[in-house]
């Protein structure tokens, strides 16, 4: 995760379209007495049975957790609750051999979604990838993958990125490799949240995770005055224009969000005298964002978030 922190800071120091506003960070932190505790499943939309099937569910969920915005009626809740219902209806729905065979229409049926999903072919491809690799190296079970990490979230992220190409969320910015690993990190964070830091969710280094750079958190940070956008970027976002994956604007939006929240975390920790986790900040910011219907976020077609 130090690669994520270091390369995000490097982007922030050279950013042309997004500014991390230090004064804005200090102002926000001065108003925070404590980080509001947001329960991991505050909406009651996730499957949980305290066992290996929950791990399998979360891995499938996080393999598909990206790019909802092209369908204005679709959001993360639909995915999480749809997969939950599918698993409650058929406990073998996410067996590795079955994951390898799903088609687009079958995935829609699983989620009870009436029309093609955004990036549907990619979603199906990633399901197949998960099924094939789980079967090849982990006896078909995501719980075995988790047990290989030695209670280290950093090891888990590295293991996921090594074995599952669809989780390799990195790009090149001004000639340098930049690492973000949103969905690999969120798998570790989801395990920690779901299992309350115990069992499959016990990680000795949960504080190593950064925020999960998506399209909600940058918009919330902008709303808070922590991020400032160039006039051109502001115009593109406010007119609902698309921003290409891997462009300077897109990389800056994500990397500057990671760096800004790291700076917020450091200040809050110093002010409160206790360790504040980036995953806690991420859940707080994301929950605030999804409950704000007027939030204007950037639009990028990407499998990474």
Tell me the CA distances in angstroms from 185 to 156, 180, 237, 253, 256, one per residue in order: 8, 9, 26, 18, 17
Q: Torsion-angle region of residue 42: left (phi > 0), alpha (psi -120 to 50) or beta?
A: alpha
Cβ proximity of 108 and 116 under 8 Å: yes
Return d(Cα 220, Cα 229) in angstroms, integer.
13
Q: Which of 62, 190, 214, 282 is catalytic?
A: 214
Token pair of 108, please? 């829609």
Indicate if 3 belongs to the active site.
Answer: no
- Residue 2's Cβ-count burial label (10 Å; 0-12, 13-18, 19+) is exposed
Report the candidate in 75, 171, 176 with the shortest Cα–Cα distance to residue 118. Answer: 75
Q: Is 51 helix (H, G, I), strand (E, B) or coil?
A: coil
Residue 217 CB neighbours (<10 A): 27
Q: What's the sign of the alpha-carbon dihedral 80, 84, 85, 91?
A: positive
Active site amino acids:
214
């Amino acid at each position: 995760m130090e690669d994520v922190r270091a390369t995000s800071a490097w982007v922030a120091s050279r950013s042309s379209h997004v500014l991390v506003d230090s004064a804005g960070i200090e102002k926000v932190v001065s108003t925070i007495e404590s980080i509001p505790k947001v329960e991991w499943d505050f909406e009651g939309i996730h499957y949980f049975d305290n066992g290996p099937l929950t791990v399998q569910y979360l891995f499938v969920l996080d393999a598909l957790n990206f790019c909802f915005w092209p369908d204005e009626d679709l959001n993360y809740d639909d995915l999480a609750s749809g997969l939950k219902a599918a698993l409650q209806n058929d406990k073998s729905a996410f067996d590795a051999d079955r994951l390898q065979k799903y088609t687009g229409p079958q995935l829609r049926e699983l989620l009870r979604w009436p029309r093609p999903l955004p990036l549907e072919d990619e979603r199906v491809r990633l399901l197949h990838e998960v099924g094939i690799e789980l079967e090849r190296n982990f006896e078909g079970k995501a719980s075995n993958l988790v047990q290989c990490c030695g209670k280290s979230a950093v090891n888990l992220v590295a293991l996921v990125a090594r074995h599952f190409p669809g989780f390799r969320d990195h790009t090149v910015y001004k000639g340098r490799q930049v690492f973000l690993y949103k969905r690999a990190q969120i798998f570790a964070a989801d395990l920690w949240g779901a299992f309350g830091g115990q069992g499959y969710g016990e990680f000795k280094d949960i504080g190593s995770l950064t925020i999960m750079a998506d399209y909600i958190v940058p918009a919330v940070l902008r709303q808070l005055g922590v991020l400032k956008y160039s006039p051109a970027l502001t115009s593109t976002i406010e007119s609902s224009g698309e921003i290409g994956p891997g462009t300077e604007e897109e990389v800056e939006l994500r990397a500057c969000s990671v760096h800004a929240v790291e700076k917020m975390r450091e200040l809050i920790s110093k002010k409160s005298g206790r360790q504040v986790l980036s995953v806690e900040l991420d859940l707080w910011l994301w929950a605030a964002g999804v409950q704000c219907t007027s939030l204007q976020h950037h639009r990028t077609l990407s499998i990474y978030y």
